[in-house]
Amino acid sequence: MEAARELGWDKVSWDEKYEHQSWDQLPDHVKTAARKLGFNQEQWDDEEDGKGWESWEKEWGDFTPEEKRCMHVLGWYKHTWG
């Protein structure tokens, strides 16, 4: 658990990947990661998953190392993406 926290994960990111959290409920480090991935508040809070987010259709290998770090903060990793 300590290692997961060190990587930026918390109970919500581990269990739900922040899927049921509004933008206002996200911790600051998660908002930062989401912004780096191209999200804004409107896109995040939209009820359709990934609507307006161009990376939604990317394969894991297509993400840059920085994007992968941001995805980890959001609770996604190679084996859970796609």
Q: What is the pLDDT along the chain (82 residues), one digit of tens a residue?
A: 888 777 666 777 677 778 788 999 998 989 999 999 988 898 888 866 655 577 777 899 999 999 999 998 888 889 888 7
Structural domain harbouring 7 = 2-73
Residue 82 within a domain: no
Residue 27's SS3 state is coil
Where do we find the tokens 């999200």?
Answer: 39
Q: Assess contact for 37 and 55: CB atoms under 8 A.
A: yes
Residue 49 within a domain: yes
Residue 79 within a domain: no
Residue 15 within a domain: yes
- The reported pLDDT for the residue numbered 50 is 57
Plot region of 51 (φ>0 → left; ψ -120 to 50 → alpha; else → beta): beta
Where do we find the tokens 């359709």?
Answer: 48
pTM of the model: 0.76
Q: How many domains does one find in the chain? A: 1
- The reported pLDDT for the residue numbered 16 is 75
Residue 52 within a domain: yes
Residue 55 within a domain: yes
